[in-house]
Amino acid sequence: MANLEPLLRLHPSDNLAVTRRAVKADEMVTLDGQSITIAEAIPANHKVAIQEIAKGQTIRKFGQPIGSAVTPISVGQWIHVQNVSIEREQAGYEFCTEIVPPPKPAEPRTFMGYRRKDGRVGTRNYIAVISTVNCSATTARYVAQELAKSDLSNYPNIDGVIPIVHKSGCAFAYNGEDHHLLNRTLAGFARHPNIAACLVLGLGCETAQAGHLQETHGLVQLSGAKRREADDSLPMVLNIQEVGGVRKTVDRAVSVLRELLANANAVKREPIPLSELILGLQCGGSDGASGITANPALGVASDLLVAHGGGAVLAETPEVYGAEQLLLRRSVNRQVADKLLERIHWWEEYARKNNASIDNNPSYGNKQGGLTTIIEKSLGAVAKGGTAPLQAVYQFAEPITERGFTFMDTPGYDPISVTGLVAGGCQIVVFTTGRGSCFGCKPAPTIKVATNSLMYHRMRDDMDINAGSILEGASVESVGREIFESIIATASGQKTLSEQQGIGDEEFCPWMPGPIF
């Protein structure tokens, strides 16, 4: 890094550069032969003007507008929240103008996965206890704790028992949009290919009735002492009030699940084509390096997986806002583009109803890390999706049926977003972070990619890959291939650092956008 210039210009049309390291006031630096005197101390990964910028003039990064100048900005000045407006250019959209077929792989690749009886493919082998409502959450935890404590040492091929619990399930409209959204999410986890056996646990009087979940998603009711007669791949349902209380329900649930442990343990890993792998693309705790290092490197990995026939799913609709035009150009047809735009407009209206603004998204940590506007953040976030055509747009937790590059409508809040991706069928997640998000989401393993070396070394026990090396001379392509190989290894059973620490039991977080009564 000592031989690299301290400033990095990302596109020839940019009127700013990004600092590779912190720079001091009055420090003289060079960029492409131009001498620049730094006007004030500027942290690493932040922006500095390399041209005179007039008041009201567009500020450009990645070759794209990210805002406009609130005041005149001189060469060498820090560009950040104090002098940038978030106004968007209204130049209109282009549709389906940049459809580039993904390259075919040189040779087929496989990973070592679990082939289920119904043909689905998993990367992990968990038992799950899913609560329909917060009122059954404690009982679900008791079931998981007792089953894990008494039995799992005898079943080494089972990765663990997950209590999937949440804070909702009641006080919303019965059979309404929120009810169906929760049902879709619960059913997605219950049927996830990384789960070998599952029990759905309700209280009995909640709005999110287990019977309604059973009817809408084909689960199997199990009441009283009735023995389940269906095959192991179908989740069961128990209601605490019907069984006779917490203790009886725990005993009954543990007894039923114990009978399934031998079958769950008997599954063996086998070679599976990469075309059967669906990857969730997530970023959180972003910084000024995210769109330069980890996100475009993940885009390379995404393109490689798509080239092998697999799926890669981008999410976080509020965090593509301001960069949606890039996805509209890559949509395979106008119907896909219109569906994405419909979700963008839904979020604009949703924000207005709640007296909020969708263009005010960067968090405190994002701003500390160098991100100024949602447009800047979104341009970097979209880079996770590589260059492949956009094949489909899904609602939150909707089953992902298309391979290739797709999009799922989710909030920007990481636990909710990943919950939707996993419910949709993603068997593995790659999570890029600049500030250092500590995250996992069982049953899907999560690979964490650091955007900068300083954070990577500070949080070495949590970060699987360092994309900060790109700022030190490594190529985006080489780090992208490192991520791609890590995806294959993780899908084949290699434990991520978050898995090694047991992270992932608390991150299940269904989205509830409607009113709570």
Show me where the domains of the chain are located: 7-85, 126-265, 275-500
CA-closest candidate to residue 160, choices 126, 121, 195, 189: 126
282-310 per-position pLDDT tens digit: 999 998 899 999 999 999 999 999 999 99
- Dihedral sign for Cα atoms in the order 226, 231, 232, 236: negative
Q: Is the pLDDT of residue 331 over 90?
A: yes
- Inter-helix orientation angle 414-424/177-190, to 10°: 60
Residue owning tokens 């924000």: 351
Q: Is the pLDDT of residue 382 over 80?
A: yes
Nearest 5°: the CA angle 285, 291, 294 is: 75
Question: Using 50, 70 and 90 to split pLDDT, how confident is the model at 89?
Answer: low
Torsion of CA 465, 470, 471, 473, to 10 degrees: 130
Range name among 31-40, 336-345, 353-362 with the lowest pLDDT average:
353-362
197-217 per-position pLDDT tens digit: 999 999 999 999 988 888 888
Q: What percent of the chain has pLDDT over 90?
A: 80
Q: What are phi and psi of 404, to 5 degrees?
A: 90, -165
Q: Could you tell me which CATH number the domain at 7-85 has?
A: 2.30.130.110
Q: What's the CA gap between 133 and 126, in Å, rounded?
A: 21
- Whether the domain at 7-85 and the domain at 126-265 fall into the same CATH topology: no
137-162 per-position pLDDT tens digit: 999 999 999 998 877 888 999 999 99
Q: How far is CA 355 from the centre of its chain?
A: 26
pTM exceeding 0.85: yes
Contact call for residues 166 and 131 (beta carbons, < 8 A): yes
Q: What's the CA gap between 500 and 269, in Å, rounded?
A: 20
E strands in 328-473: 390-394, 404-408, 428-433, 446-450, 465-466
Contact call for residues 252 and 258 (beta carbons, < 8 A): no
Nearest 5°: the CA angle 401, 406, 409 is: 95
Q: Could you tell me which CATH number the domain at 126-265 has?
A: 3.40.1400.10
CA-closest candidate to residue 278, choices 8, 16, 62, 491: 491
Average pLDDT over residues 312-317: 97
Buried residues in 439-459 as b, exposed as e (16+ CB within 10 A) = bbbbbbbbbbbbbbbbbbeeb
